Amino acid sequence: MDKFKIRVARIEMISSNERGEDIRLTFHFEGHQTSFALPIFLNSREFDDTEIVKVARSKLHEVFQQLCSQCEHWQLTDGERRELARINVRPATLVTQSQVPSLNSK
């Protein structure tokens, strides 16, 4: 699997939420087939400007650790993958020429 490019997309002050967090730092992730953004919320009274990115990275790491822990049992072994491919129960379907959309139709 290729590495993701991870960058800080934006840092912004927001209205304080129920936890008193008033900074939203958004990370952008870009991989070969996947890209997404993930906001991390922080309290500006707890950290100064020079610490915000470092603290947000740490909080991001905690988020991914939790996600990894929650879905660890989803991982299939190579044998399980082969077995699932072997028992593929989708019926084979024949597509007739009349079912194929024309590139010229509007």
pLDDT tens-digit series, residues 34-66: 999 999 999 999 988 889 999 999 999 999 999
Residue 106 has pLDDT above 60, yes or no: no
Closest CA to 48 of 93, 18, 78, 11: 11
pLDDT of residue 98: 67
pLDDT of residue 68: 94
Q: Are strands 5-13 and 23-30 parallel, antiparallel or unpaired?
A: antiparallel
pLDDT of residue 58: 97
What would the mean pLDDT of 14-28 be, rounded to a whole number? Answer: 96
Question: Residue 10 has what DSSP assignment?
Answer: E
Please state, in angstroms and rounded to a whole number, the distance separating the CA atoms of residues 23 and 51. 12
Q: Which tokens is 82 given?
A: 């082969």
pLDDT of residue 101: 65
Q: What tens digit of pLDDT does each residue of 64-105 get?
A: 999 999 999 999 999 999 998 888 777 666 666 666 666 555
Where do the H-state alpha helices sit in 1-106? 52-71, 78-86
